[in-house]
Amino acid sequence: MIPYFVFILSALCLLEVNCKNALLIIDVQDCFLKGGNLAVTGGNDIIPVINRIRNDYKNSLDLVVFSQDWHCSDHVSFASQHIGYQPYQTINLTYNSQGELCYGEAVGSEFAYAVNCSTVSTHVLQTLWPDHCIKNVSQGPTSSKLDPGLVREDGDVIIYKGQKCGIDAYSAFYDNAKITQTQLNSVLRDNEITKVFITGMASDFCVYYTALDAKSLGYETFVVKDAVRGVANESIVAAAHDMTTKGINLILSTDLKESL
Ligand code: VGL
Ligand code: ZN
């Protein structure tokens, strides 16, 4: 569906009428921070940057949204669920039109959620990860808790993602097969948001896919370079290049004022 509504609001915003800004804080959770199973290098360093953005631009930020990666303990993205596979290897997963994982190639034969599909809908190349961000776990290396050092306020919105056991979700808008969507787009629309400023982790996975979806849904999209960190150098550079090509603005937090 073409997001006319957002495009009309964005057009008004280009005329400096009715611009509304949201700060998106992607997956700043224990599992991606120091001591977490999927600790992102330098991840802890972005927390004060994010807090500073909130504080310095309080009056210009109309909405603040946190996303949380929120997995089952036997989530399909965990290498531990696939016999003979190690973290960072990839497997090909097949889904039916309901987003159910079809029993297929390279899926560990023990995987509990596999069903037989008569109609195959989508294939997804899934990177396998260490066990991470398990829902309701708030201690230890798989904890999914938001970092307690993040400034939180009444009115902040939390979006959970990746909570279906058989399918992963990097973007805070959709699962990786784009079969189901989260509340994020409707929350942004309800608040008449036209610009999104994206921070958090990982700049080559969840931040990257969230930014691509935000842009194609019609939001003017900014990624705050010093408020993100990524998993691997090569994919960080590739993601940054791809985002720039697609019209996503990569800015520094010190230049945020000019973009709001
Ligand atoms: C993420 C890998 C697996 C992320 C989530 O937040 O970027 N990466 N799950
Ligand atoms: Zn995950």
Distance 72 CA to ligand 2 centre (A): 10
Q: What percent of the chain has pLDDT over 90?
A: 76
In this prediction, residue 81 has a pLDDT band, given cuts at 50, 70 and 90, of confident
Is the CB of residue 201 below 6 angstroms from any atom belonging to ligand 1?
Answer: yes
pLDDT in tens, 173-209: 999 999 999 999 999 999 999 999 999 999 999 999 9
pLDDT above 70 for 69: yes
SS3 95: strand
In this prediction, residue 110 has a pLDDT band, given cuts at 50, 70 and 90, of very low
- What does DSSP say about strands 122-127 and 90-95: parallel, antiparallel, or unpaired? antiparallel
Cite the active site residues. Answer: 27, 161, 206
Is 191 buried (19+), middle (13-18) or exposed (0-12) by CB count in 10 A?
A: middle
Element spanning 47, H or E: helix 46-56
* pTM metric for this prediction: 0.93
pLDDT above 60 for 108: no
In this prediction, residue 109 has a pLDDT band, given cuts at 50, 70 and 90, of very low
Is the CB of residue 69 below 6 angstroms from any atom belonging to ligand 1?
Answer: yes
Distance 168 CA to ligand 2 centre (A): 7
Residue reference for tokens 């998993």: 231
Q: Whose CA is nearest to atom 4 of ligand 1?
A: 206
